[in-house]
Amino acid sequence: MAQYTIHNIRFYDFHPKAIQCMSYEDETSRLALSRADGSIEIWNCKSRPFMQLVLPGDNDSSVEALVWCRGRLFSAGLHGFLLEHNLASREVTLRTPVTGGPTWCLTLSKDKKKLAAGTEGGYVCIFDVVDEGVVYDRVLEKQEGRILHIAWHSSGDYIVTGSVNCVRLWSLKEGRVTRCALGASNRKDEVIVWCVGILDDMTLVSGDSCGKVCFWNAELGTITHSVQTHKADVLTLAICVDQNSVYVAGVDPTIVQLSRVETNTSRGKVEMWIKGNQRSVHTHDVRALAVTATDRVYSGGVDTILTLSYYPPKIVCKFPALPPLGSISVAQEAESLLLQYSDHVELWRLGASSEEGGDSGTFLPITEDRVKMLELHGKEDEVIQWCAVSPKALWIAYLVQGSLRIYHFTPPASGGQPRVQRVREMSRAIERSHQILWLSEARLASASVTGTIQVISVSGSEAVMEKELTLEPGHSVLQMTCDMEGKTLAVVDDKNTIMIFDIEGGKSAVLPGHSAPCTAVGIHPLSKEVVAVYADMSIKEYDPSRKRYTAFCRKHLNEPSPELVKKHSVIQRVSFDPDHPDLILLHNDSAFVVVQKGKKAASESQERAPKMKKVMSGSSLGKGEDAGMGAQLSVIRRPNQVLLFSQVKGKAVVSVELNPLQVMDHLPSPLKVKKYGGT
């Protein structure tokens, strides 16, 4: 197998933000979560969970609550508006003011026809959900104090809210409010009810700042049972579908399961709630919980990690925060990287070594250090959403609120200064977009918000639309990639369709459908065959010229590799090496994966599997095996989180990695808990 020199990039200063809230929709198996910077991530959980797209935030955005309604996503925040998000265009399509100012919480009726919002001013606003958007229905009687959390009874006749020192039950038919008072052990202290829920039998559930979970009799307004679940505030709760279990968590990050049981007493059978399974899967505050119909728990908070856990069997899957697609762009011919931050982009030229080869795992001496070639800032308060650099690093483009900015970069010559010139003359035919890709020097593909792909030609100070590629009606672009010549474009859309466009000839082909969503796609630089990797870890190789899977795929890629299946993370990128056409380079968030097509597996049995192979210099060794594929597969584990892995020029690859300790250094201090034997 070939040897490569790895450029280990660890200077990308990526700071993931805390998870604020989340909402899960069982019908579409999608999870929406918001982060502290106002961005919203959409995770596809149909097979292995993976981040499918990101709705970018801005400096003034705030997302405190999220709700799914028949595939439509609504959010609310401190700006005081109810927003509906268009997942196809990544834009806000509806902005409805909410009475009472800043909005802390949202809830949806069981019939999915009404939305209720709780506000800072003590109002509960109710809206009707219609096809055209939302229509204001009414406002319930103003109460003292902010509404921090809200839940709707399955009958649609009652709403429960949590505030300071009380839980309120609202009867929508009778128009009355039942106030359930709370009291702290010290009457001078306030008890903040952070989260509430309501069961079908009219049992109210609340979590408060004392670390207690209380169960209420709705008719009498009294506590029937309380459990001290945590040592600090209970910030979030989630009720299982069967309503026999409640999950709670908060500042004390332990996720506690409360189960409903019946006990025999002198008065007969009495219903109680007891602490059951406890899960310590986070290091900091847990701010959001979501439970699926299959009793799987998604959780997230200040430590920025999305966690999936369920029992039995005891399974914990952690998904570290990743930069959105378009945050890192590689200029292969120039051996350069374009790194995106919220307010600027940086162009770096990679370092070089005069030595080549050597033993696997050795560090080569650096003869030419990395150089920051350019730092390009946007205007004040502008948030950059996507960036791309051309193969020779002569053209740079980025998106700001869908608006395209293009710059021509001239590298410094013999000690001179670099020059940057913005392309000012943009054709009116160029539409707002949410994703861009350089096909070649001075030729750009742009995924417009209207669902088309525009091919843009750039020359001097002018950019014009050359041609327009269309998808199926109602489809929008999730991923785009092209071959090295920029003549073939592969597009993955939100309906799990993979289309191959011949940009010059205007022809197109569609890959056969697959049960799992596609996570990564690549085009071979020589054969033009398309390699697609799916969330169930299936790898497919397709020949667009013959419009069918290749013979290698039909023979050896019928089943996913066992080596890949046992990991819960998905493949994020596919790349190739023109000098070694039999290699397919993949990566997930913790490892590189190399598939060698031309090499016959040493044995079909696990006992006679080949020994470790020296795959890449500067990396740990991976296990070579046939993986049930009839081809050599090597997995190279990395100690750090892998953000990007791609082939560059010659026998070199670039790996952009993030040390988990770098993320931990920027987190606030967690809750200090005294442990036995500790100080």
Q: Where are the beta strands (DSSP E) in 368-503?
A: 371-377, 384-389, 395-400, 403-410, 419-422, 425-426, 433-440, 443-448, 452-459, 462-470, 477-482, 488-493, 498-502
Instruction: Note whether 596 and 581 are within 8 A (CB).
Output: no
Q: Are 269 and 255 in contact (CB under 8 A)?
A: no
For the beta carbon of residue 282, count every other beta carbon within 10 angstroms.
23
* Phi (first) and psi of residue 660, to 5 degrees: -55, -30
In the chain, residues under CATH classification 2.130.10.10 are 328-664
Helix (H) or strand (E) holding 596: strand 591-596
Contact status, residue 28 vs residue 66, Cβ threshold 8 Å = no
Output the CA angle 360-366-370, nearest 5 degrees. Answer: 115
Q: Which amino acid is at 545?
A: S
Q: Token pair of 524, please?
A: 């071979």
b/e map of 309-324 (b: 16 or more CB within 10 Å)? bbeeeeeebebbbbbb
Look at residues 643, 6, 612 and name the one whose alpha carbon lies nearest to residue 362: 6
**3-state SS track over 142-163:** CCCCCCCEEEECCCCCEEEEEE
Structure-block tokens of residue 88: 């196809």
Low-confidence ranges of the chain (pLDDT < 70): 1, 183-188, 357-358, 599-630, 675-679
* Contact criterion met (CB below 8 Å) for 248 and 259: no
Degrees to nearest 5, angle at CA 288 with 248 and 434: 165
Query: Amino acid identity, residue 671?
Result: L
The pLDDT assigned to 210 comes to: 94
Show the DSSP H helices in 260-341 as ranges.
Answer: none
pLDDT value of position 618:
34
Contacts of 356 (CB under 8 A, 6+ apart): 5, 364, 651
Cβ–Cβ under 8 Å, residues 677 and 30 = no
Alpha-carbon distance of 437 to 481, in angstroms, equals: 7
For the range 155-158, what are the long-range contacts, defined as Cβ-Cβ under 8 Å and sequence gap of 24 or more? 155/110, 156/109, 156/110, 156/111, 156/114, 158/198, 158/202, 158/218
Question: CA distances (Å), 359 to each of 440, 621, 634, 637, 656, in order?
Answer: 36, 12, 18, 18, 22
328-664: CATH homologous superfamily?
YVTN repeat-like/Quinoprotein amine dehydrogenase (2.130.10.10)
Helix (H, G, I), strand (E, B) or coil at 429: coil
Look-up: residue for tokens 């502290």? Answer: 36
pLDDT value at residue 605: 31
* Cβ atoms within 10 Å, residue 240: 17
The rounded distance, in Å, linking the Cα atoms of 588 and 319 is 11
With a CB cutoff of 8 Å and minimum separation 6, the contacts of 551 are none
3-state DSSP of 14-46 = CCCCCEEEEEEECCCCEEEEEECCCCEEEEECC
595-608: pLDDT as tens digits: 988 755 433 333 33
Q: What is the tens place of the pLDDT at every residue in 206-250?
A: 999 999 999 999 888 889 999 999 999 999 999 999 999 999 999
